[in-house]
Amino acid sequence: MKKCAVGVDLGGTNIRAVLADDDGKMGPRLHEETCAEKGPEHVANKIADLVQQLVAQAANTCEIVGIGIGSPGPLSRKRKMIFQTPNLPGFENYPLGQRVEDMCGIPVSLDNDGNCAAHGEHMFGVARGVKEFFMLTIGTGIGGGIFSKDKMIHGKSDGAAEIGHLCLYPGGIKCNCGRTGCFEQYCSATAIERRAAKALNKKTTVPELFWAHEAGNQDASKCLEEVAQDFSIGLGSLINLLEPEMIVMGGGAFSTGGGPLIPMITERLVGQAFPSSLADLKIVSGKLRGNSGVLGAAALAFKQRAKLEEPLIASQSVR
């Protein structure tokens, strides 16, 4: 029987859930408005209801190995708890993973949504087989996940890879985190749209900025060049620190591949990182695009199941 997992992407606006197999093939997909203002128990019940609907649809067709939930952080994977997040009011020290596990009777794995996106690209996407890479999710802010020696880096309290809060410009634009000059204040999709609106004197989405550049609009091109330069500063520091094989660019700004940004960033990285670290480095857009959240959460569940089975497999092999 095919093994399947339920992946849940919890956002401030919507909850998305999918049933996926261990090849990344998606089955039924469901979504609901989050309605976070109604409190964490309401949200947990919504997630459990979506999971139960998907499990019922999969009855007798596959084995459900677990549930993965990608959530904004900070959070604790071990305690399956969200500590606090601005987009989910009332979630202070709330054990979301454990509540959903209790309601559904299926093991739950909880991780940061940026980490989940990286798990998805590592298991199902463009970073499959890559041992050293990091991923950026470019949306409302900038999230990310870091893999080293084929393992994700979480840090001592699951707070690693807050890439969006690297300081690009000390004393610069004030960030929602309370500091100034953070990477995401210059290069998130929100920041790019703000910069585009100023350059073009009208509200402009990221795809519209790409189209204007490709149509020869000099103001759009100058705006993108400035964004690419800021990206190169942030990525250059990360390359010097981590020396990855690959950088994966995902999230809303790269949902259609990133347009001209990746070549513009690549060109400007010269001088921002050591030549030896730039040699053979691949900078690519994510393969999973709009499904990176739910497929990444499903990948998290599969990986947790495999980790739990490792001692059993090892003991059997000794015999």
| Average of per-residue pLDDT across 155-175 | 93
The pLDDT of residue 316 is above 50: no
Query: Which pLDDT band holds residue 33 (cuts at 50, 70, 90)?
Result: very high
Q: What is the pLDDT of residues 103-145, one digit of tens each?
A: 999 999 999 999 999 999 999 999 999 999 999 999 888 989 9
The pLDDT of residue 64 is above 90: yes
Q: In sequence order, which residues have a C-beta less than 8 Å from that of residue 138 and are 6 or more positions away?
A: 187, 188, 189, 249, 250, 251, 252, 253, 254
Query: Which pLDDT band holds residue 312 (cuts at 50, 70, 90)?
Result: very low
CA pair distance 33, 37, nearest whole angstrom: 11
Average pLDDT over the chain, rounded to an integer:
91
Q: How would you classify residue 90: left for phi > 0, otherwise alpha for psi between -120 and 50, otherwise beta?
A: left
Distance of CA 313 to the CA centre of its chain: 31
CA pair distance 101, 105, nearest whole angstrom: 5
pLDDT of res. 177: 85
pLDDT of res. 253: 82
The pTM (predicted TM-score) of the whole model is 0.90
pLDDT of res. 309: 63
| Average of per-residue pLDDT across 272-290 | 94
- Class level of CATH domain 2-113: alpha beta
Q: Quick one: which of 77, 149, 79, 89 has its CA closest to 113?
A: 77
Domain segments of the chain as ranges:
2-113, 126-286
Q: Percent of the chain having pLDDT more than 70?
A: 97
| SS3 per residue for 38-89 | HCHHHHHHHHHHHHHHHHHHCCCCEEEEEEEEEECCCEECCCCEECCCCCCC
Asked if 299 and 109 touch (Cβ cutoff 8 Å), the reply is no
CATH architecture group of domain 126-286: 2-Layer Sandwich (3.30)
> Which residues are paired to 108 by β-bridges?
67
CA pair distance 47, 41, nearest whole angstrom: 10
User: Hey, do 2-113 and 126-286 end up sharing a CATH topology, with the first three levels equal?
Assistant: yes
